[in-house]
Structure 1
């Protein structure tokens, strides 16, 4: 409790490790809450939770609550999953795909995501998972970073087409992107501008944080 109170004045790091995928995994008390960070950016809770919460609000909490199956590509500490369960009251199936088992160990220890009964965690590469899965999903959340870097495959047409194929009727993709420079801002403009599928529409959401832009893809039929 003392650390929580003091964290309103200055952040208090309580855990640090590294893994094959992350140079640094840090759990910190900041502004009265536990957050998960990499070396240079926020991975879960804190600003990232606010960003994804806005995306979910834009889609509609009532709409999401009625869904049956949500896929989360990139779990980290599980903040978006906590928003789904604790704030929206989502009781359907949640499948979380995370490439880094050390991150899941930390998420279980400090954020208790292993206590969420409707969550199934799959340790796998997101690209490999979407090629193998036989399920269809009402909502697919893409939140994949390696520190401040986004894997190039996320913006390739093959990956986008496959993700869209996995949507159920009227399904939605919520794609969190990081834009740190003019090049990445142009990347996003090109991604949105060149997206064209008759059965889908694409749009961006006004930014909550200057370096994160949410892209929403909705299946129209």
Structure 2
């Protein structure tokens, strides 16, 4: 309790773990809330939870409650999954795909992710998983970072086409991107141009200081 109170004045670290994938993961009390950070950025809860919650709000909580099947590519501490399960009260199937087992270990121990009954966690590379899965999804959430870097495959035509194939008609993609340089902004504009008139694409710049969100609806 003392550490939690102290965190309203200064962040208080309570756990650190080195990871072969994420390099360094830290669980910290910040303003009374547990957050998961990498070396240079917030990985779960804190600002990242605010960002993705806004994206879900743009789609609409009531609409999301009517979905059947949601996939989260990039789980980390699982903040968006907690928003889906606890705040939105989504009762359909949630699949979380995370490449880093250390992140899931922390998510279960410190954030209670393993208590969510309608959640299946898959330890796998997101690119490999979307090639293999036979399921279709009503909502695909993409939130994949290696510290402050985004893997190039997220913006490549093959991956975009595969994600679009896995998305049900009237379903949504929620894509969280980091924009630190002009090159990142240009990359996002190119990404947007890769969707045909069969999709409704919206960009939400500066959701937090360095994040730009996409919501993409597959039209009937």
Category of TM-score, reference length = shorter chain: over 0.9
Are the aligned partners of 1:195 and 1:202 in contact in 2 as well (CA < 8 Å)? no
Q: Map 1:15-34 to 2 at 5 A.
A: 15-34=15-34
Query: How much does 1:205 deviate?
Result: 1.7
Please list the CA deviations of residues 191-216 of structure 1 after superposition, one character each: whole Å capped at 9, or x if unmatched.
Answer: 11x22323212110243212000011
Q: Which residue of 1 aligns with 2:2?
A: 2
Please list the CA deviations of residues 4-48 of structure 1 after superposition, one character each: whole Å capped at 9, or x if unmatched.
Answer: 111010000000011110111000000110000000000000000
1:122 and 1:64 mapped to 2: Cα distance? 22
Classify the secondary structure of the residue corresponding to 1:139. Answer: strand
Q: Which residue of 2 aligns with 1:217?
A: 216
TM-score after normalising by structure 2: 0.98
- In the alignment, structure 2 segments of 5+ residues that lack a partner are none
Are the aligned partners of 1:170 and 1:220 in contact in 2 as well (CA < 8 Å)? yes
Classify the secondary structure of the residue corresponding to 1:17. Answer: strand
Aligned pair count? 220
Please list the CA deviations of residues 138-184 of structure 1 after superposition, one character each: whole Å capped at 9, or x if unmatched.
Answer: 00000000000000000011111110110112010000000111111
2:202 and 2:209 mapped to 1: Cα distance? 17
Q: Which residue of 2 aligns with 1:71?
A: 71
Q: Which residue of 1 aligns with 2:110?
A: 110
1:207 and 1:65 mapped to 2: Cα distance? 27
Q: Which residue of 2 aligns with 1:170?
A: 170
Q: Which residue of 2 aligns with 1:200?
A: 199
Query: How much does 1:79 deviate?
Result: 0.1
2:43 and 2:161 mapped to 1: Cα distance? 26
Q: Which residue of 1 aligns with 2:182?
A: 182
Q: Which residue of 1 aligns with 2:83?
A: 83
Q: Which residue of 2 aligns with 1:39?
A: 39
Are the aligned partners of 1:177 and 1:212 in contact in 2 as well (CA < 8 Å)? yes
1:101 and 1:196 mapped to 2: Cα distance? 33
1:151 and 1:22 mapped to 2: Cα distance? 13
Query: How much does 1:120 deviate?
Result: 0.2
